[in-house]
Structure 1
Amino acid sequence: MAAITICASLLALLLQPFQVRAVRVLEGYWDRWLLTAGLAGALARVQRWRWQTLRKRAERTVHGDTARRAQADARRRLAARPPLEVLLPTALGNALRAGELSAGERYGLTTLTSWPRLYFQISDRMAEILRSTRDALDSAVNLCWAFLVLVPTGGAALYDESAGWWWCSIASALAGVAYKGAITAAQTYSGLMHIAYDLHRFDLLTALHHRLPPDSDTEEETFYRLSELLAGTGSVDLPYDHGPSRWAGGSETSDEAR
């Protein structure tokens, strides 16, 4: 038992750098591999069919309290999914992509390029909640992988003992429960990403010493240009605003510094 515990701990340390890869595989990024590209396409078609079914339920005319509750649930589930044309093969991938493609885009920011920078501007309370939710997601993914590995391992160990095959069924069921938990954590994380942009998108401009937009139209244009700048897609000229209390070319200091 001591040897198993030590080996398991060492294995966990060795696999820690591959945590992002473990999540991305369960998200459904399989097109780069020839053997899984066909499966990815088939599962993506299933996801699109589910998306269209939910949309029909959300848009149809209903009568009665039960039907209205079912329609409200369909609208909630549809809102937690990305648009039809960018659906991934798995529910976990779509739960995370919903946040990656809409959290900052509502304001003109590209989430994938701006999120690493905005994350350092969020409050300590939100950072703690985000870390906790991400840890829950990673833990659920790790448990899912662990139970998935137990299925073929148990099958190989018990191939000639049919009375013990129920262990494999339990491992499969636990892997499904862990995967469902990962989906729930991913949906929570995506929702927190939306909140982070709602509260701290202007802090990103302040940290980069750019002017704050006076209205929503100017805001969208400013964030769109900032996204191009962060992505390095072109030469974008955004005016700086260092403020009266900051160094401006090394010639001014704040009153407190004086």
Structure 2
Amino acid sequence: MGDIAKGVLGGGWSLVAGWILPTAINLAVFFSAVAPGLRGTALMERLWPASSAHTMLLLLVASVLLGLVLNALQAPLYRLLEGYLLWPRRVYDRGCRVQRARKEAIAARIERTGVRAPIQAALLQERLARYPAADEQIAPTRLGNAIRRFEEYGYDRYRLDTQVLWNELTGTAPKDVGRQVDTARSSADFFVALLYGHGATAAAALAALPVGTPDVPLLIVTAVVLLLLVPVWYRAAVAATDEWAAAVRALVNTGRKPLADALGLVLPQDLGKEREMWLLVTRMSRRPYRPAADAAFAPYRAEPAPPGCCPPQPPAR
């Protein structure tokens, strides 16, 4: 039992808090506000639980199963909201132009209000920080930019492409830092799951209107309220990326040294040399091997330890 609790409070907690819990909330709304209006249909009569205990069991099982499915589909779910999936090219380009103009407008407002209203300027700076540093990295949506800012952080500062070297970086970084990334991401996952679940539940409520149910006012109110909450959860997901970005920044800053050691490289003291080294590592990971890489990596390779000098130490427990 202790091992199960440890697993839930460890890596499994992100799954529970990020996907299963919001799925349970959405299903609870469906069962309480939408499903009663469908009781007269043959399908719902066949599937509706016989008792309240069976209803709770069905809610629990459905929440876990749907939460696992959403977790498996998180990449396309995020990409759709970021503007990378199913977006027509013309709409994508227009969204990028709008977001670039917003970034420039926020920067201009900071210059105008920086001295006279420092608190307002700090709030504007927080909004500006949700955009990537390079304008060519601008995405067509606010959530896309809020995520893209920390996806490009390692490359912008150190030429360490975290998109390419993510598994290596998280596998060698301090465990507490890696756990912070998972925990911080679960907050954004929570609101994304709520957003999609509210949209699906509102669609089900509207689809139930032609069935002839007497609960038409309840279905209409449920659909309207859920649709009004969708942009609220979107804004909350954007705000939740602040902690996620801070965790990824800590992962890059503190994980570079362990990653270099694990790759058999020596981290240069000169920042320019370090950027050159990580650029080589990124290229080595993305492109086929070429003999020129041997000479390029030579200045950064660590000297092998003498035989029998330093026996491997057991991992810390």
Is the TM-score greater than 0.5? yes
Deviation (angstroms), 1:171: 0.7
Deviation (angstroms), 1:74: 2.0
Higher relative contact order (CA 8 A, sep 6+): 2
1-side partners of 2:63 and 2:270: how far apart?
55
Is 2:208 aligned against 1:147?
no
Contact 2:184 2:247 in 1 (8 A): no
Deviation (angstroms), 1:117: 1.1
2-side partners of 1:192 and 1:125: how far apart?
10
Is 2:305 aligned against 1:244?
yes
Aligned to 2:156: 105
Aligned to 1:91: 142
Is 2:278 aligned against 1:223?
yes
Is 2:101 aligned against 1:49?
yes
TM-score (normalised: structure 1): 0.83
> Can you give the 5+ residue segments of structure 2 that lack an aligned partner in the other structure?
1-54, 313-317
Amino acid at match of 1:76: E
Q: Number of residues paired by the alignment?
A: 246
2-side partners of 1:121 and 1:150: how far apart?
42
Aligned to 1:68: 118
Q: How does 1:123-202 map to 2 (within 5 A)?
A: 123-158=174-209, 161-162=216-217, 164-202=219-257
1-side partners of 2:104 and 2:152: how far apart?
19
2-side partners of 1:217 and 1:44: how far apart?
31
Aligned to 2:130: 80
Deviation (angstroms), 1:37: 3.7
Aligned to 2:76: 21
Aligned to 1:249: none
SS of corresponding position for 1:209 = coil
1-side partners of 2:231 and 2:257: how far apart?
40
RMSD (Å) for aligned C-alpha atoms = 2.5
> Can you give the 5+ residue segments of structure 1 that lack an aligned partner in the other structure?
246-251
1-side partners of 2:64 and 2:269: how far apart?
54
1-side partners of 2:311 and 2:97: how far apart?
62
Contact 2:99 2:140 in 1 (8 A): yes
Deviation (angstroms), 1:79: 2.3
1-side partners of 2:147 and 2:249: how far apart?
12
Contact 2:162 2:169 in 1 (8 A): no
SS of corresponding position for 1:128 = helix
2-side partners of 1:233 and 1:110: how far apart?
17
What's the CA shift string for 1:235-254, capped at 9, x where partnerless? 32313325426xxxxxx123
SS of corresponding position for 1:113 = coil
* Structure 2 CA distance for partners of 1:7 and 1:77, relative to 1, 3 Å: closer
What's the CA shift string for 1:155-188, capped at 9, x where partnerless? 2223673564221121123322322232222232
Structure 1 runs (4+) deviating above 4 angstroms are none
Aligned to 2:309: 254
